[in-house]
Amino acid sequence: MLSDKIKLTAKDILEKEFKTAMRGYKPEDVDKFLDLVIKDYEAFHQEIEDLQLENMKLKKQVEEASRRPAAQTAGTTNFDILKRLSNLEKHVFGSKLYD
């Protein structure tokens, strides 16, 4: 699962502290950048969760659909097909068909 491969959380990024050196980076710039990273990270994490839920729902629908007999899955029977064909003929040919 993807969550097993992810090493950091948004909280880990937020709480990360860097040592300062004589000619190091400006802490304010690093903090601003990390804030952006955290927002993106949280958005990606939420998107992953949403997609995992949707994936589970779709898998369940496929599983349920595969359990149904073929006639039910298609939603039509021979009678339904003949009825539709008859209605189509009436629509296309109109009264010419019965003259």
Residue 53 has a pLDDT of 95
**Coil/strand/helix, residue 82:** helix
Interval 13-66: pLDDT, tens:
888 888 777 778 888 888 898 999 999 999 998 999 999 999 999 999 998 888
**pLDDT for 69 beyond 80:** no
Q: Cβ–Cβ contacts within 10 Å for residue 41, how many?
A: 19
Evaluate if residue 4 carries a pLDDT over 80: no
Residue 3 to residues 15, 52, 58, Cα–Cα distance (Å):
20, 11, 20
In this predicted structure, what is the pLDDT of residue 79? 84
pTM over 0.75: no
| Spatial distance between the Cα atoms of 57 and 46, rounded to a whole number of angstroms | 17
Q: What is the largest CA-CA distance in the chain?
A: 100
Instruction: Assess whether pLDDT exceeds 60 at residue 99.
Output: no
Q: What's the mean pLDDT in 69-83?
A: 71
